[in-house]
Chain A
Amino acid sequence: MTTLKGPEGSHARTAGGTGMRLRGLIRKEFLQVLRDPSSIAIAFLMPVLLLLLFGYGVSLDAEHVPVALVAEQPNADTESFAGAFRQSRYLSPVVMPGMREAVTAMDSRRVDAIIHMKQDFSRQMRSPDGAAVQVIVNGIDANNARLVQGYVEGVWSKWLQSEALAAGRPLDIPVQVEDRVWFNSELKSRNFIVPGLIAIIMTLIGALLTAMVMAREWERGTMEALMVTPVTIREVIIGKLIPYYILGMGGMALSVVMAVGLFGVPLKGSLWVLFLASSLFLLAALGMGMLISVVARNQFVAGQTAIIVTFLPAFILSGFIFDISSMPAPVQVVTHVVAARYFIAILQTLFLAGDVWAIILPNAAALILMAGFFLGLARKKSRKSLD
């Protein structure tokens, strides 16, 4: 690395021009990337690996949830109720002889819910109050429990309808809900997780790559060596930015192709908006990485900080899985400093809804602001550090 810099620096000194120096710096950076395969791995291998893992591994759609069905006195009525559960795509019922077996199954996690029809189910059904069916869900995973609860209610209301139809009388439900889910009518969680995932991967590529690479230069003192050449700080920063920007955009392109081609996520928005938004976000992420490296000055701290301030917040505070509007107000304020938040909002809208300017423009503006802030601060800090 140091050997590389020598000729490049002297070359620049003789030529003098900014363009020439920049070209030299960029060439040097590219050579460096090519020599150290781990940078290439970060840029290309990581997106593929992560998208495959996340895309297949992260799903909030529960299907074939095992539920225990207990009928204390099996007869035609309980059988008809149980039959409705067998038809559900989301639930797979297991008939159990009694509550004791069902509770044991629940404790050992073999079933996620118990549907309990009491002894007098048939008689109560014909009384004006109707029969009470006890539903017990395992509340440990609250989100899953709520989804299962929704599925059970769905089965129940379907059964009511078919019962009413069979009896030849109208169903006495005063108000019925007719739901229309826009942008994702099948409610596939993959369609919103994959676009968010791209933002997380880009955060990793941008921040981690630059933070580590630049911290290494500071640690080894080659940064100072570079600074004493006539190359200006701005040139150094641009020289670092361009190669990693190209690497990052390559990773981005790969991710989008995989999202659309492999996971079948619709891309409703236009490609050029996607390209611009990604460029803005990548600049912000690269800027953040540079700032971390300048402040940290050693790879251990830079690496730790990059993971802690970029990956984990991007995972939890960005609206990737957890809805920002459900968070308490102070935490919502904190999410505003997470660049991924803006990018994820843009991506989810671009992929599923299309070019909705009312969402894209404010978020893009926030990204410009963040990119400017991080790059500016990184530049200021690296200049100061020389004195």
Chain B
Amino acid sequence: MIKEFLAILLDKKSRVVVFVPPIIQVLVFGYAATFDLKNITYAVYNEDSSALSRELETGFKGSTHFQEVERIRRYDQIAPTIDRRDALLVLHIGPEFSRDLTTGRPAVVQVIVDGRNSNTALLALNYVKTVITAFNNDFAARNSITGPPARLETRAWFNPNLESRWFIVPGIVGLLLLVVTILVTALSVAREREQGTFDQLLVTPFRPVEILIGKALPGFIIGIAEATVIILITVFWFRVPLQGSVATLYAGVVLFLFSSVGVGLMISSLSVTQQQGLLGAFLFVVPAIILSGFTTPIANMPHLIRQITYLNPMRYFMIIIRGIFLEGTPFSMLLGQFWPLAAIGLFNMVLAGWMFRRRLY
């Protein structure tokens, strides 16, 4: 057991690899992984230079979400502007804009959006509509036009400003924990096997269970230490509110580590070389991240893939950690997420132990 630890801690490169990158990554990714659009670059093609169309433009200039980058003079300048990604969208105000408005006909503003990133395009369009709705309300009030028969008053629960960072950063905790623990455990046996020390270990009076525990503990303890650091960064640096209890959070972390160490050992027991171990780790980690709901909702996946996600420990941890952070979900309501983690961990541990024993004979 102690030997395992020393193997990782004594090698300076391994030590650096295990501890430094996760901390840097949580900082960089925490800032990078955002769906919030900050500077929507736009170009204006205003064929109607009237006070009204300028007022509409002011709405965009005043918004923190928009940033004007170009003024277009001719129609055929629109295409290259979008093609070259100089601007994400072009606002085209036609020559009849102010005449239509003052004569009571609906005036049309054409918005041309770069759809290469469909999510960005959709969100940018929503922001455009918000600005135009504000202009409409203002205009209607001034000209005593009766408003529409119903209006929407929208509020968001649990995350009033809809900051995607609150959603993503707790997810990164799970992401990094998974990567580090799987790597540490998946390669541990293979490395010894390549160096021949595993056979030596097997002839010592240790029982397979003891060897298994010895292999599992370092990954576990490194995981706990790392979880603590990353959670501290999440709470104190990114200021993501921690609504739930710390004890429940750690219960979730421990169970998640248990299951991912189990999977790591399972991979370890199957692989003969480190390359196979790494490949196995990879073939598990990558789908586990993608199919966890970390960036894209599980609800958007097709039925078959949604069924597969029930085998993924990270899926449960995502619900646990986001629930505890943002909603303050109590322990009792998370039991449905806790037991699959325990089951996955136990199943893999037992299987890995059995594989070790089988290799003995």
Residues of A in contact with B (beta carbons under 8 Å apart): 36, 38, 41-42, 46, 49-50, 53-54, 56-63, 65, 81, 106-107, 121, 125-126, 128-147, 149-150, 152-153, 156, 159-160, 163, 170-185, 187-189, 191-192, 204, 208, 212-213, 216, 296, 298-301, 303-305, 307-309, 311-312, 315-317, 319, 321-323, 325-328, 330-331, 334-335, 348-349, 352-353, 356, 358-359
Expressed in whole angstroms, the minimum distance between the Cβ of A92 and any Cβ of chain B is: 11
Which B residues are CB-close (under 8 A) to A300? Answer: 14, 17, 187, 191, 274
- Contact, CB under 8 Å: B276 / A38: yes
B110 at the binding interface (Cβ < 8 Å): yes
- Contact, CB under 8 Å: A57 / B290: yes
Which B residues are CB-close (under 8 A) to A132? Answer: 150-153
Q: Which of B135-161 contact A (CB under 8 A)?
A: 135-136, 139-140, 145-160
- A178 and B110 CA atoms in complex are apart in Å by 5
Expressed in whole angstroms, the minimum distance between the Cβ of B11 and any Cβ of chain A is: 8
- A309 and B179 CA atoms in complex are apart in Å by 12
Expressed in whole angstroms, the minimum distance between the Cβ of A76 and any Cβ of chain B is: 13
- Contact, CB under 8 Å: B150 / A160: yes
- Contact, CB under 8 Å: B147 / A130: yes
Shortest Cβ-Cβ A-B pairs, 4 listed? A139-B159, A139-B156, A184-B115, A143-B35
Q: Which of B32, B117, B183 contacts A307 (CB 8 A)?
A: B183
Q: Which of A81, A140, A321 contacts B295 (CB 8 A)?
A: A321
Q: Which of B29, B82, B157 contacts A137 (CB 8 A)?
A: B157
B56 at the binding interface (Cβ < 8 Å): yes
Which B residues are CB-close (under 8 A) to A172? Answer: 140, 145-148
- Contact, CB under 8 Å: B154 / A304: no
Please count how many residues in chain B sit with their CB below 8 Å of the partner chain's CB atoms: 108
- A175 and B153 CA atoms in complex are apart in Å by 20
A-B contacts, 28 of them at CB < 8 A, read A58-B290, A58-B295, A60-B118, A132-B151, A136-B157, A137-B155, A138-B157, A139-B156, A145-B156, A146-B123, A146-B162, A170-B104, A170-B105, A174-B145, A175-B109, A177-B132, A178-B111, A179-B113, A184-B116, A187-B121, A204-B286, A208-B282, A298-B13, A316-B29, A325-B41, A326-B37, A326-B120, A349-B116
Which B residues are CB-close (under 8 A) to A170? Answer: 104-106
- A307 and B285 CA atoms in complex are apart in Å by 10
Q: A140-B326, A191-B118, A321-B295 are in contact. Are A327 and B157 (CB under 8 A)?
A: no
- A352 and B295 CA atoms in complex are apart in Å by 23
Q: A142-B164, A176-B106, A325-B39 are in contact. Are A133 and B117 (CB under 8 A)?
A: no
Which B residues are CB-close (under 8 A) to A142? Answer: 35-36, 156, 159, 162-164, 166-167
Q: Contacts A142-B162, A304-B183, A359-B84 given; 19 further ones with Cβ under 8 A?
A: A53-B287, A57-B290, A61-B300, A129-B147, A130-B147, A130-B148, A133-B152, A139-B156, A140-B159, A141-B297, A160-B148, A175-B107, A176-B109, A181-B125, A185-B115, A192-B119, A317-B28, A349-B116, A358-B80
- Contact, CB under 8 Å: B112 / A149: no
- Contact, CB under 8 Å: A41 / B167: no
Which A residues are CB-close (under 8 A) to B110? Answer: 178-180
- Contact, CB under 8 Å: A183 / B126: no
- Contact, CB under 8 Å: B113 / A181: yes
- A193 and B303 CA atoms in complex are apart in Å by 19
- A325 and B291 CA atoms in complex are apart in Å by 26
Which A residues are CB-close (under 8 A) to B36? Answer: 142, 326
- Contact, CB under 8 Å: B153 / A322: no
B95 at the binding interface (Cβ < 8 Å): no
- Contact, CB under 8 Å: A149 / B159: no
Q: A62-B300, A139-B159 are in contact. Are A299 and B274 (CB under 8 A)?
A: yes
In this complex, the member of B37, B85, B179, B322 whose beta carbon has the largest number of chain A beta carbons within 10 angstroms is: B85
- Contact, CB under 8 Å: A160 / B297: no
- Contact, CB under 8 Å: B282 / A307: yes
B33 at the binding interface (Cβ < 8 Å): yes
- A152 and B109 CA atoms in complex are apart in Å by 21
Q: Closest chain A residue to B285 by CB distance?
A: A307
- Contact, CB under 8 Å: A323 / B117: yes
Q: Which of B132, B149, B175, B327 contacts A126 (CB 8 A)?
A: B149
- A21 and B265 CA atoms in complex are apart in Å by 42
Q: Which of B17, B129, B140, B296 contacts A60 (CB 8 A)?
A: B296
- Contact, CB under 8 Å: B119 / A128: no
Which A residues are CB-close (under 8 A) to B289? Answer: 315
Which B residues are CB-close (under 8 A) to A144? Answer: 297
B279 at the binding interface (Cβ < 8 Å): yes
Which A residues are CB-close (under 8 A) to B282? Answer: 46, 204, 208, 307
Q: Which of A152, A204, A356 contacts B83 (CB 8 A)?
A: A356
- A189 and B117 CA atoms in complex are apart in Å by 7
- Contact, CB under 8 Å: B107 / A174: yes
- Contact, CB under 8 Å: B129 / A153: yes
In this complex, the member of B56, B179, B275, B281 whose beta carbon has the largest number of chain A beta carbons within 10 angstroms is: B275
Q: A305-B17, A308-B17 are in contact. Are A335 and B32 (CB under 8 A)?
A: yes
Q: Closest chain A residue to B329 by CB distance?
A: A107
Q: Which of A41, A175, A358 contacts B136 (CB 8 A)?
A: A175
Q: Which of A36, A179, A307 contacts B275 (CB 8 A)?
A: A36
Which A residues are CB-close (under 8 A) to B300? Answer: 59-63
